[in-house]
Amino acid sequence: MTVEAAPNPPVRRLADWSAERLGDLADEYDTPLYVLDLDRVRQNYRRMAVEFPDADVYYAAKANTCRPVLETLADEGAGIECASAGELQRAIDAGVPGERVQYTAVNPPARDLDRAVEIADEHSITITAGAEDTVERLAERDYSGRLCVRVNPGVGAGHHEKVATGADAKFGVPIERVPELVADARENFDVVGLHAHAGSGISGEDLSAHRELVARMGDLAREVGDLEFLDIGGGFGVPYRPGEDPLDLVSVAEATREAVGDLSSATLTVEPGRYLVADAGVLLTAVNTVKDARDATVVGVGAGMTTLARPAIYGAHHEIRNLSRSGGQQTVTVAGPVCESADTFGDHELAAPERGDLLAIGNAGAYGYEMASQYNSRPRPASVVLARGEARLARRRETNADVTRLEQEDQR
C-alpha cells in the first residue's frame, strides 16, 4: 500500500493564512494576539526529521516556551534544549522525560545552577557547561551526572552581530582546550557529549561557515572519543521577506553529513529553535491611528516593541498584511504605542490602512512572545494555539493588575 505524504511546503508565507479565520480569532480574543498553529509546528519538525534521519532533534525552547509547543514537539519525538532553570522547569512540567532534556548554561547564575543540579539529580537531564569554571561550579555542587561541554569553535554565522555566538568569546570553551578539559572532567562526571552553536540565521550563503564549524567539531569528537552525541546547535534560518527563498534543508543536511565525517557510535544532534516555530505564528494587531505626517503616513497599531521586540533589537524585518482590505497599496510606516523612536515595525506596502483595520505581522512564532515585556506598563498580549483548526487560549492576556501585582504583594 502506498501512503501519500501530506503536503509539507518548506515555508508558510503570511499570504497563506486565512484572513477570515484570523479576523474571527481577533474578534473572539481581542488584540494584540499571538496565534500559533501547532499543525505547522509539526510539519516543520517533520521536514527536519526527514532531512536529518540519523540525527536527534532537540527543540531550543527559548524560541517559544508555550506549553502546547513543548508538548507538541515532545510528542513528535523532539528533545528539549533549555537555556535556563525556568525553561527546565517548563520542560519537566510539560512531561518531557529527563533523558530528552538538555540544559545549556551560559554564565549560569548560582540559583539557576542549584536548580538545574536538583532537576538533573531527579530526572537525569544533561547539563552543558560552556566554561571550565562552570564545570568546577558543578563539582562544588557534588554533581556527577551527565555532562556535555560547549565548545567555542572559532567560527560563527548569524543574521545580525548580536546573535552570532560561535566566534564570540562569551560562548563555550576554546576548542584547543577541550580535550584536556574532557579528560579531567571524566574523573568526576559522565561526559556524554560536545556542543557548539554558531548563532542564528544559517542561510544558503552561510554554508561554508556551517561546514567549517561542523568539520572542526567532527574532528574534535574523534579526538576526544567515547561520546553519546555531538551537538552542532541550531541557527537554521527562515525567510523573513517575501522574495527570500526558504533554507535548502537538503543541502544543509548534505553539507553537514559530509563535513562531520564518521562519528562511530556518537549521534549527531541538531537544535533548531526558530525553524520549527517562526512561520507557525502571526501577531494580530489593530490600527488605532492613521496620521499623515510631513514625509510619511504613520499607521499606529496596538502592538509595539513590548509585544514583538525583534525589529527594535535587531532591526529585523517582519512582513505585515492588512487583513481588512485588499488593493490600493500604499507605503506606510507601522509604529507601536511605546514612547521610543525604536518602537517601529518599519515601512511597508499595505492596502491603505484605516482606523479599526486588522493587521497581521508574519513569522511571529519565534522570539515573539518570549521577548515581550511590560515596558510602559503595558500588559503582555494573549496567545492562542490552533490544533487541527480548533483554537484554544494558551496564555491569557495580562491585565493592568498583573502589571502591578508584585509590588502590591510586597506591601502586604
Ligand X SMILES: *Cc1c(COP(=O)(O)O)cnc(C)c1O
Q: Which residues bind ligand X (CB under 6 A)?
A: 60, 62-63, 81, 83, 104, 197, 200, 233-236, 271-275
Catalytic residue among 66, 82, 148, 339: 339
Closest CA relative to residue 284, chosen from 251, 324, 343, 227:
324
Residue 286: CB minimum distance to ligand X, A: 29
Residue 16: CB minimum distance to ligand X, A: 22
From the DSSP assignment, how many helices (H) and strands (E) are in the chain? 12, 18
Q: Are 282 and 33 in contact (CB under 8 A)?
A: no
Cα separation, 273 vs 102, whole angstroms: 14
State in Å, rounded, how far the first CA of the chain is from the last one: 68
Cα separation, 77 vs 190, whole angstroms: 24
Residue 57: CB minimum distance to ligand X, A: 11
Residue 126: CB minimum distance to ligand X, A: 12
Q: Under DSSP, is residue 222 helix (H, G, I), strand (E, B) or coil?
A: helix
Judged by CB, which is closer to ligand X: 68, or 199? 199
Judged by CB, which is closer to ligand X: 138, or 198? 198
Residue 88: CB minimum distance to ligand X, A: 14
Cα separation, 142 vs 11, whole angstroms: 46
Strand partners, 200: none
Neighbours of 261 (CB within 10 A): 14
Q: Under DSSP, is residue 32 helix (H, G, I), strand (E, B) or coil?
A: coil
Judged by CB, which is closer to ligand X: 81, or 206? 81
**Is residue 339 among the annotated active site residues?**
yes
Judged by CB, which is closer to ligand X: 83, or 350? 83
3-class secondary structure for 292-314? ECCCCEEEEECCCCCCCCHHHHH
Cα separation, 78 vs 64, whole angstroms: 14
Judged by CB, which is closer to ligand X: 29, or 367? 367
Residues noted as catalytic: 339
